[in-house]
Structure 1
Amino acid sequence: MSRGLEIIETYLSRVSGVRWTDVVEIIIISFLLYNILVWIKNTRAWSLLKGILVIAVFILIAAYFEMNTILWIVQNVFGVAVTAVVVILQPELRKAVEELGRKNIVSSILPFELGKNLIEGRFSDKTIHEIARACVEMGKVKTGALIVVEQNDSLTEYERTGIDVDGIVTSQLLINIFEHNTPLHDGAVIVRGNRITSATCYLPLSDNMGLSKELGTRHRAGVGISEATDSLTIIVSEETGKISVAYNGEIERNLSGDALKEKLRTIQNKPEEESRKRILWKGRSKGEK
């Protein structure tokens, strides 16, 4: 009891000498631990961590009952086990490091372009109109198309499988890309913001056995990328000309042009109040009513 009181007194005596750098250090460590836990929960590391905890419990039981053979095996296998964990989680670790490299920490803390992002959203209304117009036109002549619209999850690894385009989204460009017998028509187009970044990209196919047997490879690829990322994928059927949208691993079929625009607006991330105020302010500045 007296030992515990001495520890508390020592701790309290040290609190008065806490430096501001100590507080910053605590905040940084807390931030890192929180993001690591979030990363673990959103990847296969979460299931792996639960398995490791189960193994740790058995090791503790073996240590308590002095099961020397099991403890000897654990000591000799530990180094190999760490390497195996790194190999198993290699895709997740690579993605985490890439996201850290792409993340602009300063702008996330001090968002100087916050007003611009609030007004424009993830992409403009013109981009929505151009994509919808292209899909409707391609549907009329039964031209197959696969358009992936990026949100927060990066699609860089899928862009690398295609050919760089880096062009502004227009209906004419999309129609020309997917036109039959052209070099870029086979594969998917990736849209980031208001630009087409790549064409002829390969996408992962969905393993969902619940999908209709009527759906071909193009639709399964659209569902597959929506399962792997938070992107929205637009599919135009080459057989029927119908427009479908895949999002969060689910597919919605037979959409009209207006319905497609509404789907795109749901991920535009453009606050309605902000855009309405801006339109009203523009009208008043021009003397409109």
Structure 2
Amino acid sequence: MLLFITINFYTITDILLAAFIFYQVYKLVKGTVAINIFAGIFTFYVAWLLVKALNLELVSGILGQFIGMGVIALLIVFQQEVRRFLLLLGSKYNLQNIFNLERLFTKTSIKDEVAAAIVQACDYFSKTKTGALIVLSQNSELYNYAQTGVLIRSIVSEELLENIFFKNSPLHDGAVIIADNKILAARCILPVSDNTNIPGSLGLRHRAAIGMSAVTDAHIIVVSEETGNISFVKDGHFKVRITPQELNSFLHNDFTGFVVNK
């Protein structure tokens, strides 16, 4: 008996949606230890199909019991990835602002004087090799991350940023979050990326910046304490050793020169 698959609009849509979901899952676990676990589970599933095809009833029954608990097992094994995926949906795609019409239809833009203060401060950090980590909120408010630090709610100025990241300052260890053209908080804790593809030359600040940009739509600036290099991070990608002029362009959403490092 021949089986025919009817190809129509709904079939194509179904295939494209499934491909998109699998691609997003792959992006989520790519470069992490979870990709090895995912490969192991896939191999286990293929082995079960093979055993069933060979009619090995005993082994098939044993493996089938594990397959039957697959959803629960996946939630346990991939709990960090599931949490990251939910954060991605709620934060990066701005779902929390669906009912906030003001933020939904207002494009976030940085004022010229705020951008100038950030660029001048980062240029000073680069020359003096002062470590810095600055998060620029886009559509997401990032208030949950701001609560991990000290709320400031102050105007952005070069002098204030330099004082915050001064090595003897009690606020220098952590990130500064800037939202709505104001410094929302300092000494904030960011999620650190566990991506194994990140070069070893990049330190904890860069990993925190990449981790933050992977789960939110924020743009992050990093100044290395070891080299003084300025880096810009967005959407999980980063560009190192940028000039103050490039940084100014990026702050004004001009990414024509943003050649990402993966």
- Which of 155, 162, 187 matches 1:200? 187
Report the counterpart of residue 162 of structure 2 in structure 1.
175
Any conservation in 2 of the 1:223–1:250 contact (CA below 8 Å)?
A: no
Q: Determine the C-alpha separation between the residues in 2 that align with 1:50 and 1:205.
A: 21
Question: Secondary structure, in 3 states, of the residue corresponding to 1:42?
Answer: helix
1:242-289: per-residue Cα shift (whole Å, max 9, x none)? 35225435532xx6xxx22423423643599xxxxxxxxxxxxxxxxx
> Partner amino acid for 2:62?
I
Residue in structure 2 matched with residue 269 of structure 1 by the alignment: 253
Q: Which has the larger radius of gyration?
A: 1
Please give the per-residue CA displacement for 1:175-222, whole angstroms capped at 9, x wherever unaligned: 2322354331222223345233331124538875641xxxxxxx6123
Aligned to 1:214: none
Asked if the contact 2:209–2:222 (Cα under 8 Å) also holds between the matched residues in 1, the reply is no
Pair 1:262–1:184, CA change in 2 (3 A): same
Residue number in structure 2 paired with 1:244: 230
Task: Give the number of aligned pairs.
Answer: 238
Structure 2 distance, partners of 1:105, 1:161, is 22
Match of 2:25 among 40, 56, 78: 40
Pick aligned residue for 2:66 from 57, 73, 77: 77
- Structure 1 residue 158, shift from structure 2 partner: 5.0
Please give the per-residue CA displacement for 1:92-139, whole angstroms capped at 9, x wherever unaligned: 32233334344456988xx9989853xx64x33332211012233455
Matched, 1:65 2:54: yes
- Partner of residue 223, structure 1: 206
Unaligned runs of 5+ in 2: 214-218, 257-262
Letter matched to residue 164 of structure 1: L
Aligned partner of 1:63: which letter?
Answer: K
Report what 1:276 is aligned to: none
Please report the TM-score for the alignment, with normalisation by the length of structure 1.
Answer: 0.60
Question: 81, 86, 98: which is aligned to 1:92?
Answer: 81
Judge conservation of contact 1:139–1:243 (CA < 8 Å) in 2: yes
1:235 paired residue among 198, 215, 223: 223
1:127 aligns with 2:114: yes
Amino acid at match of 2:187: T
Greater fraction helix: 1
Q: Distance in 2 between the 1:177 and 1:149 partners?
A: 16
Which runs of 5 or more structure 1 residues have no equivalent in the other structure? Answer: 9-14, 16-22, 212-218, 273-289
Match of 2:260 in 1: none
Tell me the residue number matched to 2:150.
163
Contact 1:62 1:71 survives alignment (8 Å): yes
More displaced 10-residue stretch of structure 1: 29-38 or 185-194 = 29-38
Residues 64 and 267 of structure 1, relative CA distance in 2, 3 Å threshold: farther
Q: CA RMSD in A?
A: 4.7
> Residues 23-34 of structure 1 correspond to what in structure 2 (within 5 A)?
33=18
* Aligned position for 2:216: none
